[in-house]
């Protein structure tokens, strides 16, 4: 047996032993374990599963062990991921700090910032929110106007951030703020960590078309932030932000693995609800073809991900390809949602029918409309593919 096979076997046995059967069911939103001082568990087993993973550092498998991470290399992390998928294990922890801030902090953070924040992220003790967009700065993010004014050993932050995910329950927020209003747009921005419990911060939830209000608008009114919360150099925040956006896009391309996983097997759904021919085919040939088109694209997207992974190992790799993943992944997610709604017919027209599975599907259909907007709209993605990937002029 190779070393990798041995590792796989060890992982498999460990997961079998530590992942309770209840934690191998597809995750639903209400049962997700979100990090933070207000962490809540839907059951004792959910808590046990979280704690087992946390104590092995497998909430952040590839992060260094000195900061509490799992210390796995990419190959091992992949084995862990594959084995978790094989067994159907739920993600043990949900947090923007885990997905986005952590990798950027490991890259750009000071030693003090790493030792302060990384272990607490791994252990799910702080819930992080993201403070990027503003009412006047969406796709044109670099035009943001939230100000951080130098005041000795502090910054005084004033302004407002929007689409801050669950800022109302977050412990910390990572923000892009303007530190030099006279510099060209991207040159006057800094990356700042702000304690949400600071004086001068208020939040207001935003009601969404899905009937939920995951996002907030967050207001900063002369908030004092210690200068050692600056990540990277002063006015170099755009570099940190770009690195972080990469992680966000990668994440959104594989959204299915982290958003609630109701397995909407399209084929099963269609077969159980719609008329079939004697040959066992969907009688609605138009829908049947469009389903085939979506399923082919979804399979192809999996192959493309495999290819990128294999290409990174062997150096046979077109760097333009990963730029396509967010665009394709979110498009196919929405296509699947639309097909599902079409299959449900009248049953797909309510978010409050009282049938949880149905309501969830319909809410997700509406919620997922945000996927082609957040983290860089599809149109911005196409700009990036065309210019950075294909070399077309600005």
Does position 387 interact with other proteins (CB under 8 A)? The reply is: yes
Rounded Cα distance, 228 and 192, in Å: 9
Q: Which is nearer to other proteins, 14 or 317 (CB)?
A: 317
Helix (H, G, I), strand (E, B) or coil at 387: helix
Which string of DSSP letters, residue by residue, matches 101-135? IHHHHHHH--HHHHHHHHHHHHTT---EEEE--BT
Interface of this chain with other proteins, residues 319 to 378, rule: CB under 8 A: 320-321, 324, 327-328
Nearest CA-CA partner of 229 in 119, 101, 140, 68: 101
Residue in 112, 316, 352, 354 binding other proteins, rule: CB under 8 A: 316
Does position 391 interact with other proteins (CB under 8 A)? The reply is: yes
Q: Which is nearer to other proteins, 314 or 352 (CB)?
A: 314
Rounded Cα distance, 346 and 331, in Å: 24
Q: How many residues does the chain have?
A: 394
Q: Which is nearer to other proteins, 310 or 356 (CB)?
A: 310
User: What is the nearest approach in angstroms of other proteins to the Cβ of residue 326?
Assistant: 10
DSSP code for 276: B
User: What is the nearest approach in angstroms of other proteins to the Cβ of residue 381?
Assistant: 8
Residue in 113, 115, 377, 383 binding other proteins, rule: CB under 8 A: 383
Q: Which is nearer to other proteins, 50 or 327 (CB)?
A: 327
User: What is the nearest approach in angstroms of other proteins to the Cβ of residue 307?
Assistant: 5
Q: How many residues bind other proteins (CB under 8 A)?
A: 44
**Could you tell me which stretch among 18-26, 43-51, 120-128, 307-315 binds other proteins (CB under 8 A)?**
307-315
**What is the end-to-end Cα distance of the chain in Å, rounded?**
53
Residue in 153, 181, 275, 314 binding other proteins, rule: CB under 8 A: 314
Q: Which is nearer to other proteins, 197 or 309 (CB)?
A: 309
Rounded Cα distance, 167 and 181, in Å: 26
Do residues 343 and 287 lie in contact, with contact meaning Cβ atoms separated by under 8 Å?
yes
Rounded Cα distance, 292 and 284, in Å: 12
Strand partners, 164: 216
Burial class (CB in 10 A: 0-12, 13-18, 19+), 23: buried
Binding-residue pattern over the window 89 to 128 for other proteins, x denoting contact by CB under 8 A: ----------------------------------------
Residue in 119, 226, 311, 348 binding other proteins, rule: CB under 8 A: 311
Nearest CA-CA partner of 33 in 22, 21, 41: 41
Do residues 22 and 45 lie in contact, with contact meaning Cβ atoms separated by under 8 Å?
yes
Q: Which residues contact 159 (CB under 8 A, 6 or more apart)?
A: 134, 144, 145, 146, 147, 177, 220
User: What is the nearest approach in angstroms of other proteins to the Cβ of residue 349?
Assistant: 24
Residue in 38, 296, 350, 355 binding other proteins, rule: CB under 8 A: 296
**Could you tell me which stretch among 20-28, 218-226, 243-251, 311-319 binds other proteins (CB under 8 A)?**
311-319
Binding-residue pattern over the window 255 to 294 for other proteins, x denoting contact by CB under 8 A: ------------x--xx----x--xxxx-----xx-xxx-
Query: Site residues (CB under 8 A) for other proteins?
Result: 267, 270-271, 276, 279-282, 288-289, 291-293, 295-297, 299-301, 303-304, 306-307, 310-311, 314, 316, 320-321, 324, 327-328, 379, 382-383, 385-387, 389-394
């Amino acid at each position: 047996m190779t070393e990798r096979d041995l590792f796989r076997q060890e992982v498999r046995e460990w997961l079998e032993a530590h992942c309770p059967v209840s934690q191998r069911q597809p995750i639903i939103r209400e049962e997700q374990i979100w990090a933070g001082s207000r962490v809540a568990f839907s059951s004792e087993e959910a808590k046990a599963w979280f704690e087992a993973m946390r104590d092995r550092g497998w909430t952040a498998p590839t992060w260094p062990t000195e900061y509490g991470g799992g210390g796995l290399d990419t190959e091992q992390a992949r084995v862990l991921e594959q084995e978790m998928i094989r067994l159907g294990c739920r993600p043990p922890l949900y947090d923007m700090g885990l997905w986005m801030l952590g990798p950027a902090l490991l890259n750009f953070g000071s030693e003090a910032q790493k030792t302060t924040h990384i272990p607490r992220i791994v252990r799910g003790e702080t819930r992080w929110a993201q403070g990027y967009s503003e009412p006047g700065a969406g796709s044109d993010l670099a035009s943001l106007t939230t100000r951080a004014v130098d005041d000795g050993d502090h910054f005084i932050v004033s302004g407002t951030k929007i689409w801050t995910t669950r800022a109302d329950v977050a412990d910390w927020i990572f923000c892009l703020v303007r530190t030099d209003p006279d510099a060209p747009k991207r040159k006057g921005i800094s990356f700042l960590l702000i304690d949400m419990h600071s004086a001068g911060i208020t939040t207001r939830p935003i009601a969404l078309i899905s009937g939920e209000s995951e996002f907030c608008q967050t207001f900063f009114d002369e908030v004092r932030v210690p200068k050692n919360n600056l990540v990277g150099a002063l006015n170099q925040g755009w570099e940190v932000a770009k690195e972080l956006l990469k992680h966000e896009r990668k994440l959104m391309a594989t959204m299915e693995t982290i958003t609630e996983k109701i397995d909407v097997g399209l084929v099963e759904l269609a077969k159980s609800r719609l008329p079939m021919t004697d040959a066992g085919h969907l009688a609605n040939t138009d829908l049947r073809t469009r389903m085939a088109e979506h399923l082919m694209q979804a399979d192809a997207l999996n192959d493309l991900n495999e290819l990128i992974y294999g290409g990174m190992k062997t150096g046979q790799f077109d760097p333009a390809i990963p730029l396509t993943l967010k665009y394709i992944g979110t498009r196919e997610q929405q296509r699947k949602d639309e097909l599902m709604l079409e299959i449900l017919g009248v049953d797909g027209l309510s978010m409050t029918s009282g049938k949880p599975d149905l309501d969830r599907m319909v809410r997700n259909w509406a919620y997922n409309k945000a996927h082609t907007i957040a983290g860089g709209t599809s149109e911005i993605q196409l700009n990036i593919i065309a210019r950075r990937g294909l070399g077309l002029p600005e």
